[in-house]
Amino acid sequence: MKGLIKGKQALSLSAILGILMVISACAPREPVSSTPAPSQPASSSLPARPSGTGPTLTGKITVSGAWALYPMMVKWAEEFQRTNPGVKIDVSAGGAGKGMADALSGLADIGMVSREVYPVEIDKGAFYVPSVIDAVVAVASAGNPFKDDILARGIGRQAFTGIWINRNVANWRDVFPGAKASGKTDIHVYTRSDAAGAPETWAKYLGAKQEDLLGTGVYGDPGLAEAVRRDPLGIGFNNISYAYDIRSGKQVDGLVAIPIDVNENGKIDPEEAVYGSLDDITQAIAKGVYPSPPARELNLVTLREFKGVTREFIKWILTEGQKYAPEAGYIPLSQARVDSQLPKLR
């Protein structure tokens, strides 16, 4: 009897299993996906996707070049990746010269170039669009014994040329005759050692080229700012994003942005006093009050044409990305300028 019961139990379980297999085979199957549905964001804290980018946008973008554009590009990369998690953007700085070389050689998808693009580079295949506007400013140490004179009287283009090009202005007393100061007052001149947009732009303002600039060469924007900050008699130049603190909007601790005496009248007039804060200088650049050069557009360069996910990123920069420029210390392009560039990306 016990054996018969066991046999019936086995037969019953077998039948049940068979029935379950039939039911399973007939049941509809849901598709398997490793990504969330378009209507369900990966994170509720993330903003909606920007227009022009699909939910499956993926790929890697390498960016190289100008120190001037580096802080802005880092911000753009963060925001773009936030709404396009399938895209990875690597950003590195090394000067405009490196950005151009990397773009033309194909080592970078985007080269950051903080100067004009030369005809010879265009002949080699350089294709570019402007991205934002900023400027180069002359800087001195906050410990400079002539600090009060610098702020009240500024320095004109002629004196700057004498300091960096002709070298016939070698003493701070030559810049500010009659100023009260003791001890050594010779000017310690600094420039950039790397091929970059800032020295090229500053030299252009002085009617020269980067190779014409005299002084002790220092690598990179951060390096030059630090060299001047540590030297009470030093003078140099920086992109505004390295002369001003983005978070506080004030001039970098230990540095003084040297006002340009545009009309060469020996004093800083109210309309020339635009250096107190990052907001002041960027507004002056936007209104054309600050000279151009050293104000200028910052360019994004590639070989022949922007393609694929890189092109989508550039389109985003020229449209939605412009709103991030002010908070990063840059000036957005005008709408007319943007409209003139977008057709190049079709």
* Single-letter code of the amino acid located at 42: A
pLDDT at 211: 97
Q: How far apart are CA 165 and CA 178, in angstroms?
A: 24
Please list the helix, strand and coil fractions of the chain in percent, rounded to the nearest 5, in that order. 40, 20, 40
pLDDT, tens only, 316-331:
999 999 999 999 999 9
What is the percent of the chain with per-residue pLDDT over 70, rounded to a whole number?
Answer: 84
The torsion defined by the Cα of 35, 40, 46 and 49, in degrees rounded to 10, comes to 80
Q: How far apart are CA 207 and CA 266, in angstroms?
A: 21
Task: Report the SS3 class of residue 239.
Answer: strand
pLDDT, tens only, 203-220:
999 999 999 999 999 999
pLDDT, tens only, 147-180:
999 999 999 999 999 999 999 999 999 999 999 8
Distance of CA 41 to the CA centre of its chain: 29
pLDDT, tens only, 87-126:
999 999 999 999 999 999 999 999 999 999 999 999 999 9
Element holding 318 (H helix, E strand): helix 308-318
Contact, 69 vs 298, CB < 8 A? yes
Burial of 333 (0-12, 13-18, 19+ CB in 10 A): buried
Of residues 229 and 20, the one with the higher pLDDT is: 229
Residue 332 CB coordination number (10 Å):
19
pLDDT at 55: 57
Indicate the domain borders of the chain. Answer: 59-133+297-345, 135-295
Q: How far apart are CA 346 and CA 344, in angstroms?
A: 6
Query: Tokens 């014409």 — which residue?
Result: 212
Domains 59-133+297-345 and 135-295 share a fold: yes
Number of alpha carbons in the 13 Å side-chain half-sphere of residue 168: 5
pLDDT, tens only, 29-45:
333 222 232 222 222 22
Overall average pLDDT of the 311-319 stretch: 98
Q: How far apart are CA 261 and CA 252, in angstroms?
A: 21
Superfamily of 59-133+297-345 according to CATH: Periplasmic binding protein-like II (3.40.190.10)
Contact, 150 vs 258, CB < 8 A? yes
Q: How far apart are CA 217 and CA 237, in angstroms?
A: 12
Q: How far apart are CA 311 and CA 127, in angstroms?
A: 12
**Region of residue 220 (left: phi > 0; alpha: psi -120 to 50; beta: else):** left
Q: What angle do CA 279, 280, 282 make, to 5 degrees?
A: 65
Domain 135-295: assigned CATH number: 3.40.190.10
Contact, 257 vs 208, CB < 8 A? no
